[in-house]
Amino acid sequence: MNPLRTFIAIDLPAPIQASIEKQTARLRQTLGGEFIRWVSVQNMHLTLKFIGTIAASHVDFLKQLLTRTADMHPQFDLQIGGIGSFPTSKRVRVLWAGIHAPADLASLQRNIEDGTTRLGYEREERPYSPHLTLGRVRQNTSLADLQKISAALNNIQLGNISSFRVDSIHLYNSDLRPEGSIYTKLFSAPLGKPNQRGDI
């Protein structure tokens, strides 16, 4: 089998995808598609760990890791809201919607990071910054156009978009194609029940 380009992520339910599309419509309309490659809401997910290229034979190890990690963590709620950019508001490369995350998310992500490191995958040294990528600025965009993007971000604010219950984590394969990435779900592991650790 060919090598796989993999990552671990949280899915967004269809009603949340629809809500994001509705709430960001004005921003997409204002900026258009000339300077920004927008992410389809159907492809949006909250990445917990980008692993990279692996041999197909390693998938079973990752499945075991996801199952063990998911069993240790209860379900929790995430709130989506706010908008921003990486690396800065003046030098926009990535547009994102914010995630207001509980400690449960940080703990889950940290355990996945630790687990994949023990399996021999490279540790991410940057602090984890949970977000949903809305779009990426195209290469060779002029300084004047970057300023237009920055101004639009300042003028269009997103409040709280929606919240949802996280009940599972997923292993994905990412197939890079000229028309955009194709994501294939390889495995899913359900989180524990919300009251597993006495949560209400």
Q: Whole-model pTM?
A: 0.88
Number of domains in the chain: 1
- Does residue 170 fall inside a structural domain? yes
Report pLDDT for 200: 37
C-alpha pair distances (Å), 124 with each of 60, 75, 129: 22, 24, 11
Domain with 16 in it: 4-190
- Residues of the chain below pLDDT 70: 1, 179, 195-200
Provide the CATH number for the domain around residue 97. 3.90.1140.10
Report pLDDT for 74: 95
C-alpha pair distances (Å), 189 with each of 5, 89, 194: 19, 36, 15
Report pLDDT for 104: 95
Report pLDDT for 134: 94
Report pLDDT for 139: 87
Q: How far apart are CA 108 and CA 21, in angstroms?
A: 27
The pair of three-digit structure tokens given for residue 143, joined into one six-digit string: 């300084």
- Does residue 63 fall inside a structural domain? yes
- Does residue 196 fall inside a structural domain? no
